[in-house]
Structure 1
């Protein structure tokens, strides 16, 4: 048994909606729709199934009675069953749709409809709706030709025996919207680029392709459409045109992208790379030079700091063929002997006194 949520989801599928329209067509309820009473009359209220019986004559001449009502001509017993299962508290249009979808689930027709196999769905539901060509009821019913014409020739071809031969089911992707087809493509095992996916969507002969062409007719560009679908394609792709984009053939792609590349001649390389460099102006050089200089002047150390940091160093001196190290210190410059031998020089201050 399907859930209420599954009924709601199936009701949104275009194939299911199309089949519900077919039932209304075969049952002759297109005039008053959901308000249709059996025989073509109009229901005054949709608060509940009308629950009255009306007599009619079968195709074999016998008289019978029915309580059929609504767009899908539910008899009272059938309606009470689906209403109880799914909590359908009135006979409103939406509840009638859900009740019809519930019967399609019970008859096993939903899987066939999702594949676009209308013939199988008709054969499975002939015991539910007497007006379908697969019905065995002694009531008026539509022919296969009428049904096939209503569906646009999607159920098969007439054989010599008068019945319809099973044809290959159409591609279900033709009934998918652009977002649905995009999700279906991404589920596939073959990996495609976003640009390839855009090509497939725009060339689709079903719902997705018509949606994209309609957006393009309204002035949307392919880049805008791709962005709305979450596809990332190069911005250099052509803007909106009235014709669908066709991917290039392998030969065209190879001709455009697989040509050997010759290295440039020395003259071409020199011409494109040997441009002289201009020297910076004096102002630019000065500005950059000033930025590299310290922002604050550096003060020289005091005599005490210099004396405290000064230490004797060792300098190499040459003696013969070998290098020797001679220690030079401040006190080695003037020995005690030299100090006594030379008179003390007077400072310029003392010479004035």
Structure 2
């Protein structure tokens, strides 16, 4: 069965060209879990862009979005449902890392002012490493009497059955809504919007709403490079690569690179890990491809120093007397008494011999002193 893989095409200026990831993908792997389980998929996602769509009274449906530029320069949007949440909870959430939130404050938080008209759709950055740690949404209340269930792998809720419930509360506004399941795993909607620019507004939102605009992405990933620790992993067959987020306008380190998501690891590599991290204010990504017969990946994750072994710590542990203690037996005690007695006799003999030797030495010194005083040195002729 062929499962479509969605890709993101990153556009660069002609003055600044990098070799980038072959693809950045959000497409999940197939799953047959009856509970809406996005756990394994979400773990593969990093910084992305999400849409918060109003459904019901102060409740929002959250979708992670993929914007694809096709060969004919047409933009195509794909959305994946992450769950439902209340406005009061979302306003307490963190959507980005601390550094990115300082630079892109408006697109890294969700705040709605009371007493004014609010658009249906709001778009924000969403860093999944940050968002999975947010406060859980309230699944106990109902939306117009419909019970909600906790989503597995993300702090949101959903209304069964999926995907049909996605169109129940005007996700597409007053336009036609069609529920869709992608790769037998996640769910989404297709909105049939009216108007000329309907393809640019996947939820049929008003095109002039500032809050519904996609967060601008100003950076792109560099090409994969081998790190200095590559030799350490080569002996075991592990392949370690890294890439850096580069601002395509300043050519300096950036923080707003999307993904690489499920496109980080090659499709034919099943034993592969990918993780993003910030280093001195720059976003980076590290990828480790393990041999097929290597299933223990914890040594690279839990190692406290990639360049040093814990040899000194091992020696200290071996020399710790509290870790190796033995209880003496009766035979050991008898041997100890014999050894002590032997040592005492030997010490007495040594002391007597030393005293006798000292007397002989004193006598010799006196004779030598007497001779020196009586016989002055002869003059040299």
TM-score range for the pair, normalised by the shorter chain length: under 0.3
Query: Which structure is higher in RCO with an 8 Å CA cutoff and minimum separation 6?
Result: 2
More strand by percentage: 2
TM-score by length of 1: 0.25
Which is greater in Rg? 1
Richer in helix (by share): 1
Using structure 2 for the length normalisation, give the TM-score. Answer: 0.23
